[in-house]
Structure 1
Amino acid sequence: MKLKFNPVPFIIILITFANCQNDNHNSELPHDTAFYIDYRSLTGQSDGIAVIELDPEAPNFGNISSKLELGVGVLPHHLYYNQSANKLFTTALGGSYLYQIKTEKDKNGQPILVNATPIDTGENTVGENLFFTNDGRYFMTFMGGAGGPKDGSIGVFNANNNQLIKTIKAPIQDNPNKFIMYPHGISVNEEKGLMMVTSTIHPDLTTGMGNTCTLLDLNTYELKETYQVADSPTDMSSPVEVLLLRGKFPQYALATTMLGGDIWIAPYNTTTKKYDAFTKLFDGSTQGLGWTLEMYIDDNNRLYVSFADPGKVLVFDISNLPQLKLLKTLTADKGAHHMVFFKTKKGKEVVAVQNNLLNIPNLNSGTINVIEIETGKTLGTVDLRSRYGMLPESIEGTNGPSSYMHH
């Protein structure tokens, strides 16, 4: 069953690696500052993927050098590399929901998009986020599940051949205390053998909303606990992204609430080998902020969080969690969403912010801001809406993952 849905506020872009260094800092590579974007057409033409130059110091800043059309209404959603960064994928809200993208380089080393191969997702619909593990699997959240009013599923795939191994389903009707419903965000801590997914919203935006995160065993797929991530059981906060901190970082789970506009935190409990209850760590409404979306962490214990309304990126120090220290606020456009991190050709450390939340009114600027991290100055903006008749949906590097840790 194919889901018929309105443009969905979901999100959630890109990159899924524990401790994946940013390859885009190698200035010898000719396409360091070229990026892939998923886009939707505003003119009734095919949606697809494009290559765009994002260095404001480059003469071709904002130019699209390669495009790959996926089809009308496909709505490509999030771009991901596999664990070894030699395969590129995009999830999609329509079409075949998941595609592997073939790319090549021209004679000058510039990236070219060649073709897209649909991957069979079985009964699972409305593709959201991916997470690749070191043991040859990848996991995908399907916010639509098999199409029911309280559906949602997680697909387990073989990373070598893209075959669907298993579909994880746990309807709320069967157990209202442990369930999977409208999953969007996903994060994995392989060392602990844990996976967590969010419960966000039904793809039609009206049938239902979520306010929980669910913890699963990474190997048995058993549900361990479903956590409330909201002020009350009736507060439909719509958790959208989750991040299980791992490696050298403090061992907590972080979650953003799309409709709550907040950041939540849960400590890992070494006794229960689960996470304790979530508590609110940052209240966006007290700062005039809403629609909290993406989380990225750099190598220096800094957390970057996008707030689509009014379009901000807040940078925090997470060295002393559960204390969260606000370091700076970067101003983007309405719909601030996914990010990529790189150096300009003159060596400026920048973040490029993609500003569009699936064409939701007032959250759909359709721009990409390139902001210098140190000064907060916007060095350049590409307006894809007016220039190309398209809206950017997500963004990723053309030379490997363009962030250190995303989810």
Structure 2
Amino acid sequence: MNSVFLFVILVISTGCLNENHNPDHPHNTSFYIDYRSIKGSSDGIAVIELDPEAPNFGNISSKLELGNGVLPHHIYYNLDAKKMFTTALGGSYLYEIKTDKDQYGQPKLISATPIDTGENTVGENLFFTNDGRYFMTFMGGAGGPKDGSIGVFNANNNQLIKTIKAPIQVNPGKFIMYPHGISVNEEKGLMMVTSTIHPDLTTGMGNTCTLLDLNTYEIKETYQVADSPADLSAPVEVLLLRGKFPQYALATTMLGGDIWIAPYNTATKKYDAFTKIFDGSTQGLGWALEMYIDDTNKLYVSFADPGRVLVFDINNLPQLKLLKTFEADRGAHHMAFFKTKSGKDVVAVQNNLLDLPNLNSGTISIIDINSGKKLGTVDLRNKYGILPESIEGTNGPGSYMHH
């Protein structure tokens, strides 16, 4: 991993930087995690030390309880990383989190302010744009069996500006249903969301991604991301590559266990059809989940079953070259990148997916990116009676590009 990446992993993808993003900050091996209690207690957010070389490795130094059944799901920073948010599957679905530093300069959690999401339920992913908006996917929408919506918020005051809905019942060819993943290419004025699964995990499943105009909110196309219309692959995350990266859309399928790709078409100003670029079943892999990119054009993809992270070279897309495979634990999901005290480049892998059987190890694996060796494991299930739901840096985003 080159020196540029070691600098930018704590810088948001727009290139903004503030004093809190100093990669030499003494506490940049502390991370925020969303967690759920498995003992009937409150769910919440915690600060945890993840450097295996630190004497307090695996220790929680600060906790903020959000309430029983809130199920905080994913932590995000706004564009300048001065505000932090968490989405939630229950509770108020979206919260702004206030943080500070203790007397030793360690990050600590102060309070959570619920944000009004209107009729929109089951908060999933966020995306902040440079024009003062942020977008949020709501897998539950207003609560119907084939629902789902995208909320548009004012980033300055957190006010809901608009709810984007496009029921499949109205137009089976262009729709939004069970949206989970979201990605935006501002230069092209495009946004894409996935169609994953009904929040109860049984009522219905999706197998598409939908492209929208970022400004008019018009649906431009709904793409099949599956082997057939009957293949309920459940696309979970989407990534519109942008900037210096090859101009493609990538999608992972939760139930398919695959990676799909679609090229951008300059003539139509849309993406062409998705095709499968990596078949997880051929490698004994299932439940493809998150995608992260480092500054050396390497793509990290987590596979919850059996718990691995695959590293790909994306310099020659649509060819995807597998470089490395890291062993994590069952439920391998979100990631964060950092340097240990001695200078090792590592990735922290959060191993838990919705507390689903055999996908809920409840651990965080620390893996050396260069050697592939697992340097340490934090067992949150047995140590604290909690399961990690997501992970994020305490000095700003813990990855170069996520979605």
Distance 2:210 2:13 in 1: 20
CA contact (8 A) 1:21 1:404 kept: no
Distance 1:67 1:232 in 2: 45
Moved more, 152-161 or 28-37: 28-37
Q: SS at the partner of 1:210? A: strand
Matched to 2:283, the amino acid is: Q
Q: Which residue of 2 aligns with 1:129?
A: 125
Q: Which residue of 1 aligns with 2:317?
A: 321
Residue 31 (structure 1) shift = 1.1
CA contact (8 A) 2:11 2:17 kept: no
Residue 18 (structure 1) shift = 3.6
Select the residue among 105, 112, 115 that pairs with 2:111. 115
Select the residue among 196, 203, 208 that pairs with 1:207. 203
Segments of 4+ in structure 1 off by > 4 A? 19-27
TM-score by length of 2: 0.96
Matched to 2:175, the amino acid is: F
Select the residue among 64, 70, 80 that pairs with 2:66. 70
* Identity of matched residues, %: 84
Q: SS at the partner of 2:139? A: strand
Residue 107 (structure 1) shift = 1.9
Select the residue among 267, 279, 296 that pairs with 1:283. 279
| CA-to-aligned-CA distance 1:275-330 (integer Å, 9 cap, x gap) | 00000000000000000000000000100000000000000000000000000000
Instruction: Kindly report which structure 2 residues correspond to 1:6-25, keeping only aligned pairs within 5 A, or say none.
Output: 18-19=13-14
Q: SS at the partner of 1:29? A: coil
Select the residue among 393, 399, 402 that pairs with 2:398. 402
CA contact (8 A) 1:99 1:118 kept: yes
Q: Which residue of 2 aligns with 1:174?
A: 170
Distance 1:334 1:19 in 2: 33
Instruction: Kindly report which structure 2 residues correspond to 1:241-320, keeping only aligned pairs within 5 A, or say none.
Output: 241-320=237-316
Q: Which residue of 1 aligns with 2:7?
A: none
Whether 1:219 and 2:215 are equivalent positions in the alignment is: yes
Cα separation, partners in 2 of 1:25 and 1:138, compared to 1, 3 Å? closer
CA contact (8 A) 1:16 1:80 kept: no
Distance 1:26 1:402 in 2: 12
Matched to 1:123, the amino acid is: E
- Structure 2 regions of 5+ residues with no counterpart? 1-9
Residue 339 (structure 1) shift = 0.1
Q: Which residue of 1 aligns with 2:386?
A: 390
Q: SS at the partner of 1:286? A: helix
Select the residue among 347, 355, 358 that pairs with 1:359. 355
Residue 357 (structure 1) shift = 0.2
CA contact (8 A) 2:335 2:350 kept: yes
Matched to 1:274, the amino acid is: K
Q: Which residue of 2 aligns with 1:197?
A: 193
| CA-to-aligned-CA distance 1:144-164 (integer Å, 9 cap, x gap) | 000000000000000000000
| CA-to-aligned-CA distance 1:248-295 (integer Å, 9 cap, x gap) | 000000000000000000000000000000000000000000000000
Residue 25 (structure 1) shift = 8.4
Number of residue pairs aligned between Structure 1 and Structure 2: 393
Q: SS at the partner of 2:381? A: helix
Cα separation, partners in 2 of 1:206 and 1:17, compared to 1, 3 Å? farther
Q: Which residue of 1 aligns with 2:330?
A: 334
Distance 1:383 1:93 in 2: 23
Matched to 1:301, the amino acid is: N
Q: SS at the partner of 1:140? A: strand
Q: Which residue of 2 aligns with 1:36?
A: 32
CA contact (8 A) 1:19 1:404 kept: no
Q: Which residue of 2 aligns with 1:55?
A: 51
Whether 1:347 and 2:343 are equivalent positions in the alignment is: yes
Q: SS at the partner of 2:193? A: strand
CA contact (8 A) 1:196 1:213 kept: yes
Distance 2:125 2:24 in 1: 32
Q: SS at the partner of 2:205? A: coil
Q: SS at the partner of 1:211? A: strand
| CA-to-aligned-CA distance 1:348-399 (integer Å, 9 cap, x gap) | 0000000000100000000000000000001110000000000000000000
Distance 2:23 2:351 in 1: 26
Whether 1:233 and 2:220 are equivalent positions in the alignment is: no
Residue 30 (structure 1) shift = 2.0
Matched to 1:112, the amino acid is: K
Select the residue among 42, 45, 59 that pairs with 2:41. 45
TM-score by length of 1: 0.95
CA contact (8 A) 2:308 2:328 kept: yes
Q: SS at the partner of 2:281? A: helix
Matched to 2:132, the amino acid is: G
Select the residue among 152, 155, 180 that pairs with 2:151. 155
Distance 2:194 2:283 in 1: 24
Residue 16 (structure 1) shift = 11
CA RMSD of aligned residues (A): 1.4
Moved more, 283-292 or 20-29: 20-29
Q: Which residue of 2 aligns with 1:10?
A: none
Q: SS at the partner of 1:308? A: strand
CA contact (8 A) 2:11 2:400 kept: no
Residue 62 (structure 1) shift = 0.3
Distance 1:68 1:239 in 2: 32
